[in-house]
């Protein structure tokens, strides 16, 4: 095996990096994951993830972790309702969609990020993840790399894999291509103990998801496994809006006033979310990598997930692409089909770029649909199919 006696450093302990570590360890590779968090409990994980059969779930099957996933997923959390700005329901699959339908093309079971991370972490050999390892820089050393961390420590590796997300610090070692702004910014909020704090919204949500459209804006929300509700107010605006709007994101009163002004035609039903969300709200300008990006492959460095192809979230492909990257990269690195590591990495990167470009294009198109005057009708047509 081309990886024999080679040290592999994965920078970033998200789903993509941890999935890759698991898959490589199953092939007896020497792997260390360097994660900036102080420990596994240092950070609250975000909204639930929906995994797709051909990507995220395929990676878990290959990793031997599908049973663990089935024990931790959120039955019914993938059920969807489409509404207008007045909270009138135009589509619901709550009465028809089975809670468990593994293997079906359109079954996309949800799982809390924290639960998925726990499954992946517990599948790794003890000591695989090295916490408090905030990447600063690296330089070539022999045929490999010397990696430096913020805590003053360094590590050597024969192969480095960037899995450090949309703001990757390793990507510039591979390419200077940068993402472009999609024209859409989302304002994220989170409500704890939703049954108590937002009872009307919780009753409307029914443990699933809501997508509400009206007047070229939308509200997206979903149930979390711990009784929380995560939601996003999504608008088309300029890239500087998040920094220049003058809003205090820790002030619910200000954010509610902004919503009333920005969404004047929308029902007061939605105000409950903004009144009771736990501050601060988080603005998220949505970026995307160029669909035609390309670079010269290296023999000892590559990347996966958002580091390689950050894209809008409007097709639900982000984590699925990262986990499929991990699956395909592990197979390329351990296959006998390629004579050199550079060839193996080149094959992976070529396939990954093509696949990610298709998903990103779909996400961009969906983003335009969801913020158009005909958004509700367009999305109803998609769900009808």
pTM of the model: 0.95
pLDDT band at 288 (very low <50, low <70, confident <90, very high): very high
Tokens 């390329």 — which residue? 332
Contact 103, 230 (CB under 8 A): no
Q: Tell me what pLDDT residue 101 has.
A: 78
Judged against a pLDDT cut of 90, whether residue 308 lies above it is answered with: yes
Cite the annotated binding site by residue number: 43, 50, 113, 306
Share of the chain above pLDDT 90, in %: 89
> Within its chain, how far is the Cα of 312 from the centroid?
10
**For position 107, what pLDDT does the model report?**
85
Residue 260 has pLDDT above 70, yes or no: yes
The domain segmentation of the chain, as residue ranges, is 7-50+114-175+292-368, 180-288
Residue range 148-169: average pLDDT? 97
pLDDT mean over 280-300: 97
| Topology adopted by domain 7-50+114-175+292-368 | FAD/NAD(P)-binding domain (3.50.50)
How confident is residue 384, by pLDDT bands cut at 50, 70 and 90? confident
Distance, CA of 224 to CA of 230 (rounded, Å) = 7
- Residue found under tokens 């290959």: 62
Residue 44 has pLDDT above 60, yes or no: no
Binding residue ranges for FAD: 50, 113, 306
DSSP codes joined into one string, 66-77:
HHHHHTTSBTTT
Strand, coil or helix: 179: coil
**Is the predicted pLDDT of residue 199 greater than 60, yes or no?**
yes
**Strand pairing of 49-50 and 180-191?**
unpaired
Which DSSP string corresponds to 279-343?
SPPEEEEEEE--TT------SSEEE-THHHH---STTS-HHHHHHHHHHHHHHHHH-SS-SSHHH
The predicted pLDDT at position 43 comes to 66
Is residue 46's pLDDT more than 70? no
Residues 6+ apart with CB under 8 A from 212: 82, 83, 84, 85, 87, 218, 219, 220, 270
DSSP sequence for 344-378: HHHHHHHHHHHHHHHHHHHHHHHHHHHTSTTHHHH
Q: 244-253, pLDDT tens digit by residue?
A: 999 999 999 9
Mean pLDDT of 281-303: 97
pLDDT of residue 319: 94
Give the domain 180-288 fold: D-Amino Acid Oxidase; Chain A, domain 2 (3.30.9)
Binding-site positions for NADPH read 43
Condensed to tens digits (0 to 9), the pLDDT of residues 88-130 reads 999 999 998 887 778 777 788 999 999 999 999 999 999 999 9
What pLDDT was estimated at residue 3?
A: 93
């Amino acid at each position: 095996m081309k990886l024999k006696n080679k040290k592999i450093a994965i920078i970033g302990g998200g789903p993509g990096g941890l999935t890759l570590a698991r898959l490589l360890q199953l092939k007896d590779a020497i792997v260390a994951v360097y994660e900036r968090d102080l420990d596994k409990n240092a950070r609250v994980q975000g909204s639930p993830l929906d995994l797709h059969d051909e990507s995220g779930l395929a990676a878990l099957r290959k990793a031997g972790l599908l049973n663990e996933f089935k024990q931790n997923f959120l039955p019914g959390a993938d059920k969807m309702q489409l509404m207008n700005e007045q909270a009138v329901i135009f589509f619901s699959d709550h009465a028809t969609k089975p809670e468990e339908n593994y293997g079906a093309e359109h079954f996309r079971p949800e799982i809390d990020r924290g639960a998925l991370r726990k499954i992946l972490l517990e599948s790794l050999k003890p000591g695989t993840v090295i916490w408090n390892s905030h990447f600063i820089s690296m330089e070539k050393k022999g045929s490999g790399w010397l990696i430096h961390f913020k805590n003053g420590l360094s590590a050597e590796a024969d192969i480095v894999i960037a899995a450090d997300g949309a703001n990757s610090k390793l990507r510039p070692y591979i390419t200077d291509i940068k993402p472009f702004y999609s024209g859409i910014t989302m304002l994220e909020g989170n409500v704890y103990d939703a049954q108590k704090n937002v009872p009307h919204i919780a009753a409307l949500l029914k443990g699933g998801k809501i997508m509400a459209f009206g007047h070229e804006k939308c509200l997206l929300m979903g149930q979390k496994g711990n009784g929380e509700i995560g939601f996003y107010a999504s608008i088309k605006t300029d890239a500087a809006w998040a920094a220049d709007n003058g809003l205090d994101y820790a002030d619910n009163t200000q954010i509610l006033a902004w919503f009333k002004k920005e969404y004047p035609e929308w029902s007061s039903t939605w105000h409950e979310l903004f009144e009771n969300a736990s501050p601060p709200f988080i603005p998220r300008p949505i970026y995307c990598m160029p669909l035609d990006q390309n670079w010269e492959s290296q023999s000892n460095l590559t990347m996966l997930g958002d580091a390689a192809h950050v894209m809008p979230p409007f097709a639900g492909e982000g984590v699925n692409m990262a986990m499929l990257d991990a699956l395909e990269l592990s197979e390329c690195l351990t296959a006998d089909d390629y004579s050199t590591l550079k060839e193996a990495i080149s094959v992976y990167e070529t396939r990954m770029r093509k696949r990610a470009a298709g998903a990103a294009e779909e996400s961009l198109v969906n983003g335009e649909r969801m913020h158009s005057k005909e958004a509700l009708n367009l999305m109803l047509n998609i769900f009808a199919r």
